[in-house]
Structure 1
Amino acid sequence: MKRFLLTILATAGIVCAVCWHFRDSLPAAWRKVAEPMVTKPTPDAARYAELKEEAQRRRRDLSAKYAKARTKEEKDRVMAETRGYLETLLPAMMRCWLGTTWDFHGTADTPGQGKIACGYFVATVLRDAGFEVDRYKLAQQASQNIIRTFLPSEAMTLRVGVPYENFASEVAGAEPGIRIVGLDSHVAFLVTGPDGFHFIHSSGCKPWCVVDEGRDDAEALRRSNYRVHGLLTSDRTVLLRWLKAEKIAVKETSTATASAKRR
């Protein structure tokens, strides 16, 4: 009996030691085990179509208000209303895609109807929200060029080799809004607000679809060594281009180079 108890204690000690050694990776490992048990959300193509139509109506209304504004204060109020609307519209459109299957070559035009790559997800949502941009050219660019298509270089934040928790805390405490974020080989949206941030993207790993992930679940964001992002909805030029339906020229890189930097 004594030998039996000693054996149990020794085994328990080994298990504890192993758990302690792998303590940092256990949460991620458990998430990978649990993922198959999670039911994928159903893409909502009908709601997406409604939002596209609504975006066109609101853009016309806000554009007319801006044209009638005579003072700086009046124009600023329209700008604030435009920003508030886009910060509601864009996440709603992104979430209509949840559950849509990822594919490296995916170019789906509608949630749930086909497969979609990460770059095409970002480009399609922006186009359908009312930004006049060639989604094919935009989707094929390196992530930094996707951001630079909308924002100047000085409006971008680059972090290389920064521990994930440091980066996550910085973003969670940053100005609320809609960001595009580029990683080692990926591009996505970061939606920041009072509750931290949401990493919304077409995921090239489990569960292989468009997902909305919080700080603790954003494994692609966690693993990346390179992170560059820019806040779209705080930029007055971006807002004016949307209001006026201005054509936005894509900052181009060769397709081969861009493909090597995205998944």
Structure 2
Amino acid sequence: MSAPLVTKPAPDSARYEELKEEAERWRKDLSSKYAKARTNEEKDRVIAETRSFLETLLPEMMLCWLGTPWDFNGTSEVPGEGKIACGYFVSTVLRDAGFKLDRYKLARQPSQNIIRTFLPADAMTLRVGVSYDTFAGELAMVEPGVRIIGLDSHVAFLVTRPDGFRFIHSSGSAPWCVVDEDREAAEVLRRSNYRVHGLLTGDRTVLLRWLRAEKIAVKESSTASS
């Protein structure tokens, strides 16, 4: 008896383009609302709306890439066309969501530098030599949102929710493509001894930079590849 066929999800470049346009429309609208806000309370409401929007937008953009093949040197900009490395997956989604950054420079940085490009050091959580069950249990108690996570030799998105987390990344392990994995399926996350993450959508400065379309300077490392 032959083995059952495994169907990979199909990348959705058309929806991705729609989301890029939607991101810019929302950014301009929310930026205008923030500029017109007269009290701290009004500004806080716009920031909360911005966070809510990005926490919906970013995962949907990530999922448009599902099934796109991985390659160590992959630099695709379009879901389903060519191949994409883990760092380029992260940097491309962030750029296309409206963050003004150099995706090439960001993608070539060590994962900790990628996180530090957006967040201060004290907003990062570093866990080394911690069992996977312990780490996953800790994630069950963290604030919901969209995170960037760095591993031994990998970078990915981590979407934390009250009902569990999603590990979304361009995987250099089977099935060697962009995947969306839960706690049980996230073998790359399980095997890593080094895990560092930060809550991208929980940082007010990050949200303001997105609202204002401010250029984000990449934290570079002398050890980054050329």
TM-score by length of 1: 0.83
Residue in structure 1 matched with residue 213 of structure 2 by the alignment: 245
Larger Rg: 1 or 2? 1
Tell me the secondary structure at the aligned position of residue 168 of structure 1. Answer: helix
2:199 pairs with one of 206, 214, 231: 231
2:224 is paired with a residue whose SS is helix
Partner-residue secondary structure (3-state), 1:106 = coil
Offset at residue 37 of structure 1 (A): 4.2
User: 1:131 maps to what in 2?
Assistant: 99
Does the residue aligned with 1:199 lie in a helix, a strand or coil? Answer: strand
Once the 2 structures are TM-superposed, how far is the Cα of residue 116 of structure 1 from its aligned partner? 0.1
RMSD: 1.1
**Separation in 2, partners of 1:39, 1:149:** 36
Aligned residue in 2 for 1:66: 34
Assess, with a 3 A threshold, how the Cα gap between structure 1 residues 190 and 65 changes in structure 2: closer, same or farther: same
Gaps of 5+ in 1: 1-33
The CA deviation at 1:173 is: 1.9
Counterpart-to-counterpart distance in 2, 1:227 and 1:216: 17
| Runs of 4+, deviation exceeding 3 Å | none
Shift of residue 258, structure 1, vs aligned partner: 3.5
* More helix per residue: 1
Counterpart code for 2:122: E
Distance 2:5 2:104 in 1: 35
Verify: 1:209 aligned to 2:177, yes or no: yes
Aligned residue in 1 for 2:17? 49
Q: What amino acid does structure 1 have at the position aligned with 2:23?
A: A
Structure 1 residue 157: Cα displacement: 0.2
For residues 172 and 55 of structure 1, the distance between their equivalents in structure 2, rounded to whole angstroms, comes to 29
Matching residue's letter, 2:90: V
**Residue 258 of structure 1 aligns to which amino acid in structure 2?**
A
Which residue of the other structure, out of 152, 156, 179, is the alignment partner of 1:184?
A: 152
Asked if the contact 1:173/1:196 (under 8 Å) is kept, the reply is no
Q: Secondary structure at the match of 2:196?
A: strand
Give yes or no for the alignment of 1:221 onto 2:189.
yes
Secondary structure of 1:200's aligned partner = strand
Give 1:72-151 correspondences, 5 Å limit: 72-151=40-119
CA drift at 1:194? 1.8
- In structure 2, the residue matched to 1:200 is 168
Which letter maps to 1:89? Answer: L
Opposite residue 226 of structure 1, the aligned amino acid is Y
Local SS of the residue matching 2:48: helix
Give, as a single letter, the amino acid of the residue that structure 2 aligns with 1:194.
Answer: P
Q: Deviations over 1:182-233 (max 9, x none)?
A: 0000000000112210000000010000000000000000000000000000
CA distance in 2, matches of 1:152, 1:230: 9
1:12-31 pair list within 5 angstroms: none
Return the letter of the residue paired with 1:98: L
1:166 lines up with 2:100 in the alignment: no
Q: Secondary structure at the match of 1:119?
A: helix
Whole-Å Cα distance in 2 between the matches of residues 153 and 114 of structure 1? 35
Give structure 2 stretches of 5+ with no counterpart.
Answer: none
Name the residue aligned to 1:16: none
CA deviation map 1:103-149 (0-9, x unaligned):
00000001001100000000000000000010000000000000000
Identical aligned residues as a percent: 79
Residues 161 and 226 in structure 1, CA contact (< 8 A), matched pair in contact too: yes
Across the two proteins, how many residue pairs are aligned to each other?
223
